[in-house]
Structure 1
């Protein structure tokens, strides 16, 4: 168990010996040895004892706090990595304009290439003209990436590619209850967008946990400009994994009906809302539709299942889990910053 999620509202996280314990009203819900947990994610109204906090910090277990709807709140961070030489190298290289542009191109190329592979895989079955057009349009954009003269031009290519991809993504859903016309955020305004946004939050946490462990600074990246509180490097590294891990999982849960419309609700129709302090500032207009408790459990289970799937990783010529590949890509980036290797985005094979 690499990641332990606690989503039972009102639960309490404690420690007993070298085990992480989750209880509610005195009843033990989970008991997990600490050595099996890389990351602990607490969603919504979850209590945690001071003893558990000290234990998690001592063991170096990344602990993330999300709202019940998957919005990131923060994380427990132990003493920052002592690898100052690595961070100095990161800061130095990411001040070099040519190096930054070249690295950003790799992130965009990987994202667009994986967009195209996903569409091509599903096009074999759906045979839709709109999907075929998107595949060809993405190919033309991918060819432009190498010639982008600056970051603004590159971001324009990435934005155009994302718009083309999401315009075709709706053609891949088989369940007529789920309609997807465009990507909407802050807030996501339909079930597919809810799943995508939640999934990207989980993916960001996965990537940032490996960045934190590596000693890199998650707030300085290449493609995403630095901004107060924004983990730009984590956003950079997750780009190539969005279609691989999140979008693929969304298509699976919808097309297999593992998640249905019964797993969503609109706030005014909900039997009960999370306790005060979690979403007190939200209105039905802010979040028109939300995942139910059961829907949240299903989606987390599918995301974690996808992370554990094995595939061929060309850098090491091994079959690794997608979670392991996320970690390997962070390590590859470190070698790239040290000029010991060249960063290559991980791209799915057809």
Structure 2
């Protein structure tokens, strides 16, 4: 499957059940099942309503970028699950104690994935040891706040070891531009999968801001952030400017593989299986299963 990136004036429409992308007098035709995501980077791209509906109906992420080429908005299909009302009613009633355990498992998974990435890259042994310490601290925490506090401290150690000692997440630089771009793509990708499961992305586990329409997306993304981190690191070593090639490179994030229940699956399938497992945990008390990341599976 491929990521379709449109950077120049063109028109997107449906013809004979296929997606037609027309530029000047030349057209290319794509089967919808061959498209992982459609990213619109040019403001000169025109999409027909039928094309938008067709892409949305088939659960293909449709992402629009702003003038700075950063993902700005995306399409969500509101009616792509047959029990959406039932699912959301259940979601509202998720128990607080279970939310704490899910958040704990998510952050433990994230820190383990960060630790393994640093280890694979030959990072400073001291940083890896510190991450191990915070994994233990998270396991002993029994509150959302305590878990999040450990995660925040560990994140600073991780990023400084992954990129450079002076790195700060809030600074304006090429690394943060890349991270923000990659995370935005991943957030949109996850949000579309969330709604396909009949859940509402604003009803989160840890994140609960009334100003955030994607609290649940921001919870789930934590597991998968290292996939973006590694993609940014690779391109950062090759260039010092946030170029079109840099952005194209980050689109590959959505085509990566993860491990779920000891089986290698696509990122999309891994997210779907995690959400399914999370629902079974909340509603049926089944054991929560979380995807694992493996840098050796990445193809950049």
Q: Which residue does 1:70 correspond to in 2? A: 70
Separation in 2, partners of 1:57, 1:74: 10
Query: How far off its partner does 1:107 sit?
Result: 1.3
Q: Which residue does 2:32 correspond to in 1? A: 34
Note if 1:246 corresponds to 2:228. Answer: yes
Kept after mapping to 2: 8 A contact 1:62/1:77: no
Kept after mapping to 2: 8 A contact 1:57/1:77: yes
* 1:252-294 residue CA offsets vs partner (Å, 9 max, x unmatched): 3344x3xx23xx2xxxxxxxxxxxxxxxxxxxxxxxxxx3333
Greater C-alpha Rg: 1
Which of 328, 342, 350 pairs up with 2:273? 328
Extract unaligned runs of 5+ from structure 2.
296-300
| Alpha carbons of structure 1 residues 88 and 17: separation in structure 2 relative to 1, 3 Å | same
| Alpha carbons of structure 1 residues 242 and 54: separation in structure 2 relative to 1, 3 Å | closer
SS of the equivalent of 2:140 reads coil
Query: How far off its partner does 1:232 sit?
Result: 1.1
| Alpha carbons of structure 1 residues 222 and 39: separation in structure 2 relative to 1, 3 Å | same
Query: How far off its partner does 1:142 sit?
Result: 0.8
| Alpha carbons of structure 1 residues 304 and 97: separation in structure 2 relative to 1, 3 Å | closer
Query: How far off its partner does 1:118 sit?
Result: 0.9
SS of the equivalent of 1:200 reads helix
Q: Which residue does 2:248 correspond to in 1? A: 297
Q: Which residue does 1:224 correspond to in 2? A: 207
Separation in 2, partners of 1:133, 1:10: 50
| Alpha carbons of structure 1 residues 78 and 98: separation in structure 2 relative to 1, 3 Å | closer
Q: Give TM-score scaled by structure 1 length.
A: 0.75
Note if 1:5 corresponds to 2:4. Answer: yes
Which of 143, 155, 158 pairs up with 2:148? 155
* 1:42-89 residue CA offsets vs partner (Å, 9 max, x unmatched): 224122112323433444544232225223223243436341222222
Kept after mapping to 2: 8 A contact 1:107/1:223: no
Q: Which residue does 1:196 correspond to in 2? A: 179
| Alpha carbons of structure 1 residues 10 and 329: separation in structure 2 relative to 1, 3 Å | same
Q: Which residue does 1:138 correspond to in 2? A: 131
> Aligned Cα RMSD in Å?
2.5
How many residues get paired?
A: 292
Separation in 2, partners of 1:222, 1:110: 16
Separation in 2, partners of 1:53, 1:319: 31
Kept after mapping to 1: 8 A contact 2:178/2:247: no
Query: How far off its partner does 1:143 sit?
Result: 0.7
Extract unaligned runs of 5+ from structure 1.
172-179, 265-290
Separation in 1, partners of 2:52, 2:181: 25
SS of the equivalent of 1:338 reads helix
Q: Which residue does 2:81 correspond to in 1? A: 81
* 1:164-185 residue CA offsets vs partner (Å, 9 max, x unmatched): 11121125xxxxxxxx732434
Separation in 1, partners of 2:277, 2:31: 30
Q: Which residue does 2:166 correspond to in 1? A: 181
Query: How far off its partner does 1:340 sit?
Result: 4.8
Query: How far off its partner does 1:7 sit?
Result: 2.5
Kept after mapping to 2: 8 A contact 1:57/1:78: no
* 1:122-158 residue CA offsets vs partner (Å, 9 max, x unmatched): 12xx5xxxx2221111111111112223222221111
Q: Which residue does 1:278 correspond to in 2? A: none
